[in-house]
Chain A
C-alpha cells in the first residue's frame, strides 16, 4: 500500500499548503466586519471549473495509485508471470503524446483567439485519441491471439484491468472533447471556449501522465525502480 500512501502524502501536501493560507490561527470570534485583506481569503482566483477538474483528477489519481498498490502486492505471489508487452504500445504512446500536444496547441491558440487553429487542434486531438483507443484494442487482440487471456495469469488480469480503466477515462474525456469541438464550430463565446479547451488539455495531460506511469508499471520498470529505492533505504 506504499504507492497510495505516497500519493496521499502529495495530496496532504497540497491540502496543508492551502490550509496554511486560510488563517487557521486567526481568532474569528474577535474579528467583526469585512477587512479588505479578508477578501483575499474568500476564494481562489482560478476558474471554478478548473478547481473542480483538479479535485476530480485527484480522485482519478487515487484510483490508479490504488491499482498500482494492488499490482505490487499481488506481484509477489509466485504464480506471477509477466507478459510480453506488444510493440504496438510504443506506437500508441506516441499517438497519445501527439494528442496531448495537439490540445496544448489548441489551448495556446485559444488564448490568442485564433479560432481556426483551435478547431484544428481539437480535431487532431480527438482523432489521435480515437486512434490510441483503437490501438489499445488491437494490442488486446494481439495478446489474446497469442494466448495471454484475462484469467490465465494475474499479470494478464492486471494488464487488461488497468489499461481498460485508462481507456474508459479517455473515452469519457472524448465526450467532453466532442462537446468542446461542437462549441468551437457553433460559435461559443471566446472566453467560454478557451476555458473548455484548457480543461480538455489539463485532463489529457493528466491521462498521458497516468499512461506513462502505468506503461512503466506494466513493462516492469516501475518494479525495478521501487526495488532500487528499497535497497537505498535499507
Chain B
C-alpha cells in the first residue's frame, strides 16, 4: 500500500465563509436551535409523534376489518379517513421526514466532517415549517367534517366532491395546505443536506470516501428536491379547483342533480403530476435505507462493504431511473401502448441496480465476523423483507398477473413489505446503532431483542396472510366485507388473526418508546465508539458531540469508510481519520 500524504503540511479544512453560530440563551440552544443535531432530534421526535397517530389509525382500521360490525364509531366514512391519513402520514410525514430531516440532519455533518450544516438558519426554519405542516394536518381531525377520505393518492374528481369525506368540507383544504407547507419546509432542509455534502466535506473526504449512508441520503434528497415540486404544483392546482372553482383537474360534473361550476379539466393530468412525484418518493424512502443498511452490515460483520463503487453507481442509477417510470402506476388510464411499453421497460431495468445491491449485501456478510447485535438483526431482517417484497413485486410487475391482483389485499401486502416494513426495520436498526452517539448510553439489550423479534415476526404474521386474502380476491380500501361471497369463514378468521397481531406489534413499539426514554438516564454508558466503527461520527472528542462537533480541529480523512479487519492493523477497524498505511502491499489505483 502506498502512502500518498504530501510532505508539505496539510491545508486547513474549515469552510471559510460559513461562520459557526453560537447560541446565547436556553431558547436558542434547545428550541430555536440552529444546530443540526438539535434540529435532527426535533424532526425525529415530531415524526415519531405523528407516526404514532398513523399507528393508532392502523389499529382502528384493523379493528374494523378484523371484527366487522363491532365498533359503531368506525363508519365507512371514518374508515376512508383513517386510510387516507394513515397512508399519507406514514409515507411523507413519518418516513420522509425521519430519513432526511432526522437522520440527514444528524449524520450528514458528522459523517462528512463538518461543524454544522452550511445554512443553519434556513435549516432551523425548515423544521418549524415542517412542524406547522404537521399541525395543519392534524387539525383536519378537529375540523368540521373531519379529515379528507380521498385515499392517499387524492385523485380528483372524487377528492373534492361531497361524496368523499372532507371533500366539500375542510378536510381536503387542510391536507393540501399541509402538503404545500411540508414541501416548502423540506426544500429548505434539502438545500442544506445537498450543499453540505457538496461543500462541507472535510479535507481528504472525497465523494468516493463517503459512507454509503451519506450517499443514500444525498441522492434521495436530490431526488426529493426535483420530485416534490410536482406534488406542489398538483396541490396548488387542486386547491384552486376546490376553493376558487377553477377547472384544472375537474371535468364537467354534476352532483346530486346539480351542475358543478367545473368544466373540461383533466384528472389524468393530476395523475401524471402525482406519480411524477409518487414513484421517486418510493426511492426517496428506500435509498437512505439502502445506504444505512450497507453501513450497519459492514460495521457489525467487521468486513468492508463488498463492491463499494458498484453500490455508489447503483444508488445514483436508481435515482436517475426512478424519474422515468412514473406512468407504470397509470397503465389503466388508457395511454398509448408504446408509452406503456416504454414505462414497463424502464421499470424492469430499475430492478438491475436494486438486485446488485442485494447481492453485495449478501456478499458482504459472506464469511464476515457477524456480530448478532440488535442493529445487525434489523439489517438482516430488512434484507429478508426487502427480497420478499421484491418477489411479490415480480407478480405485480407482470401485467397479466397484475390485472386480477390489482386493488386487492395482495397489493396492500406487497407495498407494506417493501416500503412500509422494510424501511421501518432500517429506522429501528439505525436508532439502535446511533442512539449511543446521540445520548452517550446504550439502549437496553433485553428490551431491544424483545422489540426486534416481536416486530419482525409480527410484521410477517400481519402482512404474509394478506397475500392469501388478496389471492382470494379480497379488495383493498373496503370498510365492510361481511356479505361478500369471497369472505369465507376462514378468511374472517384470518382477518381477526391479522388484527390481533397488529395490536401485538403495536404494543412492542410502546416497549421500544419506553426503552428510548428510560435509557437516556439508565442505559449502560456507551463510550465514544461502542461498535468500534470507522466513520467520523464515532471519532468525536465528546459523546454526545458538542456544539461544533469536532473540537478545535476538524478531522482529516486518510481512508475510505470500510477499513475493517485489515490484515496487519492493530485493531479490526481503522478510523477514517487515522493516518498511515496498513495492509498488504497493494497497487494504488
* Pair A30/B17 contact, Cβ less than 8 Å: no
* Pair A70/B273 contact, Cβ less than 8 Å: yes
* Pair B229/A29 contact, Cβ less than 8 Å: no
- Of B226, B246, B266, B309, which is within 8 A of A77 by CB? B266
How far is A44 from B195 in the complex, measured between Cα atoms in Å? 11
Looking at A16-24, A94-102, A103-111, the stretch in contact with chain B turns out to be: A16-24
Q: Mark B10-39, 1 if CB is under 8 A from A, else 0.
A: 110001011000000000000000000000
Q: Mark A57-81, 1 if CB is under 8 A from B, else 0.
A: 0110011001100100110011110
Chain B residues within an 8 Å CB radius of A228:
none
The smallest C-beta distance from B483 to any residue of chain A, in angstroms, reads 41
How far is A27 from B589 in the complex, measured between Cα atoms in Å? 6
How far is A190 from B458 in the complex, measured between Cα atoms in Å? 63
Chain B residues within an 8 Å CB radius of A5:
324
Chain B residues within an 8 Å CB radius of A34:
4-6, 10, 203-204, 556-558
* Pair B309/A73 contact, Cβ less than 8 Å: no
* Pair A33/B229 contact, Cβ less than 8 Å: no
Q: How large is the interface on B (under 10, 10 to 19, 20 to 34, 35 or more residues)?
A: 35 or more
The smallest C-beta distance from A198 to any residue of chain B, in angstroms, reads 13
Beta-carbon contacts under 8 Å, A11-50 to B: 11-12, 15, 19, 22-36, 38-39, 41-44, 47-49
The smallest C-beta distance from A114 to any residue of chain B, in angstroms, reads 23
* Pair B198/A44 contact, Cβ less than 8 Å: yes
Chain A residues within an 8 Å CB radius of B206:
22-23, 26, 28, 38, 41-42
The smallest C-beta distance from B469 to any residue of chain A, in angstroms, reads 36
* Pair A52/B195 contact, Cβ less than 8 Å: yes
How far is A36 from B3 in the complex, measured between Cα atoms in Å? 12
* Pair A48/B191 contact, Cβ less than 8 Å: no
How far is A8 from B280 in the complex, measured between Cα atoms in Å? 13
Interface flag for A226 (CB, 8 Å): no
- Of A42, A58, A157, which is within 8 A of B205 by CB? A42
Chain A minimum-CB-distance residue to B203: A42
* Pair A8/B226 contact, Cβ less than 8 Å: yes
Q: Mark A183-221, 1 if CB is under 8 A from B, else 0.
A: 000000000000100000000000000000000000000
Q: Which residues of A contact B (CB under 8 A)?
A: 1, 4-5, 8, 11-12, 15, 19, 22-36, 38-39, 41-44, 47-49, 51-52, 55-56, 58-59, 62-63, 66-67, 70, 73-74, 77-80, 150-151, 154, 157, 161, 165, 195
* Pair A77/B264 contact, Cβ less than 8 Å: yes
Known: A52-B191, A79-B263, A79-B264. A32 touches B208 (CB 8 A): no
Q: Determine the main DSSP class of A at the interface with B.
A: helix
Interface flag for B261 (CB, 8 Å): yes
Chain A residues within an 8 Å CB radius of B367:
none
The smallest C-beta distance from B180 to any residue of chain A, in angstroms, reads 12
Chain B minimum-CB-distance residue to A23: B208
* Pair A157/B246 contact, Cβ less than 8 Å: yes
* Pair B589/A30 contact, Cβ less than 8 Å: yes
* Pair A151/B589 contact, Cβ less than 8 Å: no
Q: Determine the main DSSP class of B at the interface with A.
A: loop
* Pair B580/A32 contact, Cβ less than 8 Å: yes
The smallest C-beta distance from A35 to any residue of chain B, in angstroms, reads 4
* Pair A48/B199 contact, Cβ less than 8 Å: yes
How far is A52 from B261 in the complex, measured between Cα atoms in Å? 43
Interface flag for B244 (CB, 8 Å): yes
The smallest C-beta distance from A165 to any residue of chain B, in angstroms, reads 8
Looking at B232-240, B384-392, B506-514, the stretch in contact with chain A turns out to be: B232-240
Chain A minimum-CB-distance residue to B204: A34
The smallest C-beta distance from B377 to any residue of chain A, in angstroms, reads 27
Interface flag for B450 (CB, 8 Å): no
Chain B residues within an 8 Å CB radius of A51:
195, 198-199
Chain A residues within an 8 Å CB radius of B209:
28
Task: Sample 29 A-B pairs with CB under 8 A, ordered by A number.
Answer: A1-B276, A19-B316, A24-B313, A26-B309, A27-B589, A33-B4, A34-B558, A39-B11, A39-B203, A41-B206, A41-B207, A43-B15, A43-B199, A48-B195, A51-B195, A55-B225, A59-B225, A66-B273, A70-B237, A70-B248, A74-B265, A74-B269, A77-B264, A77-B265, A79-B263, A80-B264, A151-B245, A161-B236, A161-B240
Chain A residues within an 8 Å CB radius of B276:
1, 4, 66
Chain B residues within an 8 Å CB radius of A52:
118-119, 191, 195
How far is A44 from B263 in the complex, measured between Cα atoms in Å? 51
* Pair B265/A154 contact, Cβ less than 8 Å: yes
Which interface residue of A25, A35, A150, A165 has the most chain B CB atoms within 10 A? A35
How far is A195 from B207 in the complex, measured between Cα atoms in Å? 27
* Pair A35/B6 contact, Cβ less than 8 Å: yes
